[in-house]
Structures are given as structure tokens and as C-alpha cells.
């Protein structure tokens, strides 16, 4: 569709120049003005001519009328002037001859922009705090981050996915205190991450107290935790050995979740990797006169920029998140020489990123403007806020298990002889959760309602995966067909499907520009809907002649290709049978 927009825009400029040669108008500007009307009866594209009124010193209605009478473009069947809009109807045959062969030729590369070639993007996402379970609150950063990575790779960028695991900080001090007081190695070896969670919840409850259970608050335990973490930072081998063991247990527990999501990372450098790199950055802050002492803590004052101070070191000299993030960013720039560094975290951390991004700028690093924070909304369960420390979480392994179990039951009822049922049930069950999450605009808060997430009706992951399987089934039944045959569009549903397919590259560009995977999920629903309407209203294998049959098989293969390309961008498995 981008090619058609360019042709139309250039033709509009040519028409304008005929009557007003000195008009400062170019094709790029006009192409950006073109809109998709809310109803196809109003055209496939529309140019709101009021945007040209001031430049051309003419009324929008007259501009639209003049353009409608003079516009001549091979891809345009007709143009109509309606209330100051130029409504443009594309030529179905022209689109079919251009779009479908392009899809069949480019295949998995169809719709891929090239503006990322020769550039590097570093993406920091997922990054769970270790010694805690992988729960639904971690799903956002993981699937949004990976989708953004896949989108950038599709556009030609070299992408480095970093799982910046939270393997350092006061939470490990808490776990060490809890383990020494109430834990033992045998219990943790047997219980794994669940045993660590029990210890973490127990010490947090002990610190804050629980009046209902008659547990008095014991804030001194928080002081003990800080002291144990400080010992880690100072190199205490007993604590470090225990810490390494705790980290190992958590990483092993997370591997299965990443396998189910089909996600791998290029680097697992955690916060602990930068303990030896932080002092140099702290010294640089001192040398530039940016570091100040406030009540014993070391800060960078940011009041001139409308933000509270950025804490660099605690009163006891131990590090904080900004210290480690700055050191990590410097290290990544030196190692990868990135053109963009993208951080995908909850919107609740927006101030944190704004602060340390500004500190990096004040330190004089000329790449500070290459740092990008991509925030997303919070997740609640039936309205209740998630909190690992109180145990109010839904573990992803349990959520995925429920979804897989439900899919397996449906498959057993509808298609008991299907091969690889377990594998397909996992792909569809996990896909249902991922698609549900990514269907929402990332910045919106999500109230996770289990029944909605696992529904297999309507605009869901299973629906679009079933549509993909349907295209595979049609092509398998058809056998070979003539891909070189002339396209013949005879039905409105065929034309509609081609036009949706033609929009794919625009969708990819929009998703990259806005860091918004939901743009892709909405497009997938549009494409699945267009294909299913075509499938139900246009006989494919029973078409009236070979020319029509070839056209419809080519359209089916094109839909399969573009659906598959789009699935790849959002971590959704391609299922050839359901």
C-alpha cells in the first residue's frame, strides 16, 4: 500500500503544480495526509483537502473537485469529491497483479522495511528479579520486549536481547536472613523456587507484621537484611556462595517459561556483573561536580529538570538501581556501540528511567538521547494488585498449564485422532495468554480475568491460530497450483483480502515507531477476519474455473504467509493443524 500511496501522492502534487507551479508541496507530505476511511463505501483512501486549503488559497470543496477531475494514476479506479474530501477507489486488478506476486516471491521477507540495516539495537527486557517466581506481572516486559525485538529484526536491525536479571540488591539480603533463620538446603533443593518464595514471603510478613495472624512487626529484620547485602557488596564469601546458589535455582526455574514462549536471549548479564564497573561512574560524577551528599547519601540534584534527586549511593555506601543502570549502559555502549538502547519496564519505573537518563546526559555521554524507555501498564488479578512479598500472584507456569489443559480437552473432543496433540495444545494454550496480553495497548492497565484470557471465542489467539491452520489445510488439499497464472478478481471479498494484505508493511512501521505490539495483534485480527469472510463466501477448491481457482489459492497462500510473518513478530506459534 505504501507504493500506491506514493503514486497517488506524486500524482496529486503534479495536478497541483499544473495550476499552481510555485506551490511548496511534495509527495511525502501528501502521502502522510492520506487516510483510511471508516467505511469502504467512502473509498479505500481519502485525502482531506482542508489540509491543502491554506497552501493553495482555495476552498477544500473546490480543491477536491479539481483533483477528482484531473487525477490519473494506474492504481486508481476512480476518485470522487465529497464535502472537501477526495475519496479514492483503488483498482482491484492492479492491486492483485502487484501485491500477490510480491508476497509469493518475498515470502517471509514480505512487509519487511529496510531502514534498520547497518544499525544496532540493544533491548533490555524480561529481567526478572531472581529468587522470585515468574508470575503474570513479568509477562508484560517479556512479551512486549520480545515483540519489539522481533519487529526491529524484521526491519533489518542487528538486535541484542539482554535479560538483565535482578540478581543483586536488598532482596538477597532478605533471603539470606530468612534462609539462615528458617531454611535449609535440602528443603530448597527439593522445593526449588517455591521454597524460596515461601522464605521471601515469610520474612516480609515478619518485617511488616500481620495483625490478623498475630504476627508483630519486626523492622529490625530489615536492618539485618541490609547488613547482609552490604557484606555481599564488600565481598563476604559465605554470603556470595549462598547468593550464587540462590541465583542458580531461579534461573533453572525460568528456563521452562522462556522455552514455552519461544524466547532466547543474547546476554544474561545481571546487575551483579557491574559491581566492579560502578566505582568508575561514581568517580566520574564526583569529578564533574554532580555528586552531592544529602543526609549521608550520595545524590545528583535534578530539581532544575523538574525531578527529585537521583540517589546514587546509600548512606552505608551500597549501590542503588540507578548506579547499576548507568554502569550497565556505559558497558553496553562500549561493547555494542548501539544506535538505540531500549528498556521495557512497567510505567511505575518511568521516573527512575527519566532520572538516570538525565544523569547520563549530565555526565557528558553524547549517546544519552539514544536511550529509550518503553513503559507498560500494571496487571491486577480480578482487581487485586500483584505483590510477590505477600504471595498474591498467579504463576505463569500455572496459568500456562490451565490454558494448555483447556485446549487439550477441546482438541480431545473435536479431533481425538490429531497427531502431536500435546505440542499443539501447548502452542495454542500459551498463545492464548500471549495474544490476550498483546491485544491491549501496552500503556493501559490490565485487569487479568482468567475466563476472558482463556476464552476461545471471538478475537482471541486460538481464533487467529485456527485461521492460519485453515489456510494450511486448504493448500494441503489443493496440491500444486499455477503461481504464475494471471490474477482474476471476481468477488468483493477477494479485493478486500488483498487490500488488508497490502497494508502489512505500514503496520510494521507503525508498530516500530510507536513501540506498540498491539498494532500487530489488531492487524492479525483484521487479516484473519478478511480471510475467513473470503473463505466462507468464495469457493476455493470448487471454483468455477482454473483461473479463479488459481487466484483464490494464491490469495490463500498470501494470507498464510502474512499471518505467519505477523505471528512471528508477537511470539505466537504457527499451528498447521488444530
Model pLDDT for residues 60-84, shown as the tens digit of each residue: 999 999 999 999 999 999 999 999 9
Q: Distance (Å, rounded) from C-alpha 241 to C-alpha 301?
A: 37
In this structure, what C-alpha cell is assigned to residue 487?
A: 490474477
| Cα 205 from chain centre | 35
Residue 388 is predicted with a pLDDT of: 46
Is 275 a residue whose pLDDT tops 50?
Answer: yes
Q: Domain 414-442+451-569 - what CATH class?
A: mainly alpha
Beta bridge partners, 85, equal 48, 82
Identify the residue whose cell numbers are 479514492: 88
Give the DSSP letter of residue 485: S
Query: What pLDDT score does 316 carry?
Result: 81
Instruction: Give dist(CA 522, CA 512) in Å, integer.
Output: 14
Gap between the Cα atoms of 376 and 511, Å rounded: 15
Least confident of 283-292, 378-387, 423-432: 378-387
Name which residue leads in pLDDT, 259 or 449. 259
What pTM, to 2 d.p., does this model score? 0.88
Confidence tier at 490 by pLDDT (50, 70, 90): very high
Span(s) in the chain for CATH 1.10.730.10: 414-442+451-569
Question: Which has more confidence, 474 or 412?
Answer: 474
Q: Which three cell numbers stand for residue 216?
A: 508483630
Give yes or no for residue 315 having a pLDDT over 50: yes
The per-residue pLDDT for 392 is: 54
Residue 61 confidence (pLDDT): 94
User: Tens digits of per-residue pLDDT, 319-363?
Assistant: 788 999 999 999 999 999 999 999 999 999 999 999 999 999 999
For residues 99 and 215, which has the higher predicted lDDT (pLDDT)?
Answer: 99
Q: What is the mean pLDDT of residues 547-572?
A: 96
In CATH, the number for domain 120-390 is: 3.40.50.620
Interhelix angle 193-208/170-182, rounded to 10 degrees, is 100
Q: Range with the lowest mean pLDDT among 9-18, 51-60, 334-343, 448-457?
A: 448-457
In this prediction, what percent of the chain has a pLDDT beyond 90?
62
Confidence at 380, pLDDT banded by 50, 70, 90: confident
Residues 126, 243 contacting (CB under 8 angstroms): no
Sole residue written with cell 524466547: 263
Indicate if the pLDDT at residue 46 is higher than 90: yes
Tell me which fold the domain 2-90 belongs to: Gyrase A; domain 2 (3.30.1360)
Average pLDDT over residues 88-115: 95
Helical H runs in 183-236?
185-191, 193-208, 220-233
Q: Give me the sheet containing 340-346, strands edge to edge.
A: 158-162, 120-124, 340-346, 371-376
- Is the pLDDT confidence value at 454 over 80? no
Q: How confident is the model at residue 393 (pLDDT cuts 50, 70, 90)?
A: low
Q: Residues spanned by CATH 3.30.1360.70 within the chain?
A: 2-90
pLDDT of residue 466: 93
Q: Quick one: pLDDT at residue 271?
A: 80
Mean predicted lDDT score pLDDT of the chain = 90
Pairing of strands 85-90, 45-48: antiparallel
DSSP assignment, residue 486? P
Query: Which whole number is the average pLDDT over 457-475?
Result: 92
CA dihedral 112, 115, 121, 126 (to 10 degrees): -30
Q: What are phi and psi of 335, to 5 degrees?
A: -80, -40
Specify the pLDDT at position 34.
95
pLDDT at 390 over 60: no
pLDDT band at 155 (very low <50, low <70, confident <90, very high): very high
Q: Is the pLDDT of residue 253 over 80?
A: no
Taking only the tens place, the pLDDT of each residue in 169-223 is 788 889 899 999 998 888 988 887 788 888 888 888 889 887 777 778 888 999 9
DSSP E strands, 163-307: 291-294, 297-300
Predicted pLDDT of residue 221? 92
What was the pLDDT predicted at 467? Answer: 95
The pLDDT, as a whole number, for residue 414 is 82
- Sorting pLDDT into bands at 50, 70 and 90, what band is 385? low
- Could you tell me where in the chain the CATH 3.40.50.620 domains are found? 120-390
Query: Which runs of consecutive H residues, i.e. helices, occur in 337-395?
Result: 350-362
- Give residue 354's pLDDT: 97
Q: Do the beta carbons of residue 204 and residue 174 sit within 8 Å? A: yes
pLDDT at 170: 80
Q: Phi and psi dihedrals of 207, rounded to 5?
A: -70, -50
Question: pLDDT over 70 for what percent of the chain?
Answer: 96
pLDDT for res 384: 57
Where b means 16+ CB within 10 Å and e means fewer, 122-158 reads: bbbbbbbbbbbbbbbbbbbbbbbbbbbbbbbbbbebb
Amino acid at each position: 500500500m505504501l507504493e500506491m500511496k506514493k503514486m497517488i501522492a506524486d500524482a496529486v502534487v503534479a495536478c497541483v503544480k499544473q495550476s499552481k507551479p510555485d506551490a511548496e508541496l511534495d509527495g511525502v507530505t501528501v502521502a502522510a495526509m492520506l487516510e483510511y476511511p471508516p467505511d469502504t463505501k467512502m473509498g479505500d483512501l481519502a485525502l482531506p483537502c482542508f489540509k491543502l486549503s491554506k497552501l493553495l488559497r482555495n476552498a477544500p470543496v473546490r480543491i477536491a473537485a479539481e483533483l477528482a477531475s484531473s487525477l490519473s494514476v494506474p492504481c486508481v479506479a476512480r476518485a470522487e469529491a465529497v464535502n472537501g474530501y477526495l475519496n479514492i477507489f483503488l483498482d482491484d486488478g492492479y492491486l492483485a497483479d502487484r501485491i500477490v506476486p510480491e508476497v509469493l516471491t518475498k515470502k517471509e521477507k514480505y512487509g519487511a522495511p529496510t531502514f534498520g540495516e547497518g544499525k544496532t539495537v540493544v533491548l533490555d527486557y524480561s529481567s526478572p528479579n531472581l529468587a522470585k517466581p515468574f508470575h503474570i506481572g513479568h509477562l508484560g516486559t517479556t512479551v512486549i520486549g520480545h515483540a519489539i525485538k522481533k519487529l526491529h529484526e524484521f526491519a533489518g536491525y542487528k538486535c541484542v536481547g539482554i535479560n538483565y536479571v535482578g540478581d543483586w540488591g536488598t532482596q538477597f539480603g532478605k533471603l539470606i536472613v530468612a534462609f539462615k533463620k528458617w531454611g535449609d538446603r535440602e528443603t530448597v533443593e527439593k522445593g526449588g523456587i517455591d521454597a524460596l518464595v515461601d522464605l521471601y514471603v515469610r520474612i516480609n510478613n515478619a518485617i511488616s507484621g500481620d495483625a490478623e495472624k498475630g504476627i508483630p512487626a519486626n523492622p529490625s529484620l530489615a536492618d539485618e537484611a541490609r547488613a547482609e547485602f552490604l557484606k555481599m557488596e564488600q565481598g563476604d564469601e559465605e554470603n556470595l556462595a549462598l547468593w550464587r546458589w540462590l541465583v542458580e535455582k531461579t534461573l533453572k526455574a525460568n528456563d521452562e517459561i522462556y522455552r514455552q514462549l519461544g524466547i532466547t536471549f543474547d546476554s544474561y548479564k545481571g546487575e551483579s556483573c557491574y559491581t566492579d564497573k560502578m566505582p568508575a561512574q561514581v568517580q566520574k560524577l564526583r569529578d564533574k561536580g554532580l555528586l552531592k551528599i544529602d543526609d549521608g547519601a550520595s545524590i545528583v540534584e535534578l530539581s532544575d529538570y523538574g525531578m527529585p534527586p537521583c540517589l546514587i549511593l546509600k548512606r552505608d555506601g551500597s549501590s542503588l538501581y540507578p548506579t547499576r543502570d548507568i554502569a550497565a549502559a556505559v558497558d553496553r555502549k562500549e561493547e555494542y556501540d548501539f544506535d538505540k538502547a531500549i528498556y521495557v519496564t512497567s510505567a511505575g519505573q518511568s521516573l527512575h528511567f527519566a532520572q538516570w537518563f538525565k544523569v547520563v546526559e549530565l555526565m557528558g555521554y553524547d549517546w544519552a538521547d539514544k536511550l529509550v524507555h518503553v513503559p507498560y501498564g500494571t496487571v491486577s488479578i480480578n482487581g487485586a494488585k500483584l505483590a510477590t512479598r505477600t504471595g498474591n500472584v498467579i504463576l505463569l507456569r500455572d496459568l500456562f498449564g490451565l490454558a494448555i489443559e483447556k485446549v487439550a480437552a477441546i482438541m480431545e473432543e473435536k479431533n481425538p485422532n490429531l497427531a502431536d496433540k500435546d505440542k499443539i495444545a501447548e502452542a495454542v494454550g500459551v498463545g492464548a495468554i500471549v495474544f490476550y496480553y498483546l491485544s491491549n495497548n501496552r500503556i493501559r492497565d490490565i485487569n487479568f480475568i482468567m475466563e476472558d484470557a482463556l476464552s476461545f471465542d471471538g478475537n482471541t489467539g486460538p481464533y487467529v491460530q485456527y485461521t492460519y491452520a485453515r489456510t494450511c489445510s486448504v493448500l494441503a488439499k489443493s496440491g500444486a497450483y499455477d503461481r504464475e497464472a494471471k490474477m482474476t478478481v471476481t468477488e468483493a471479498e477477494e479485493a478486500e483480502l488483498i487490500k488488508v494484505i497490502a497494508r502489512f508493511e505500514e503496520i510494521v512501521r507503525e508498530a516500530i515507531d510507536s513501540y506498540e505490539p498491539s498494532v500487530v495483534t489488531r492487524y492479525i485480527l483484521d487479516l484473519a477476519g478478511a480471510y475467513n469472510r473470503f473463505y466462507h463466501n468464495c469457493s476455493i477448491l470448487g471454483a468455477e474455473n482454473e483461473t479463479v481457482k488459481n487466484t483464490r489459492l494464491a490469495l490463500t497462500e498470501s494470507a498464510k504467509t502474512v499471518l505467519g510473518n505477523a505471528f512471528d513478530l508477537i511470539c505466537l506459534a504457527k499451528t498447521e493443524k488444530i
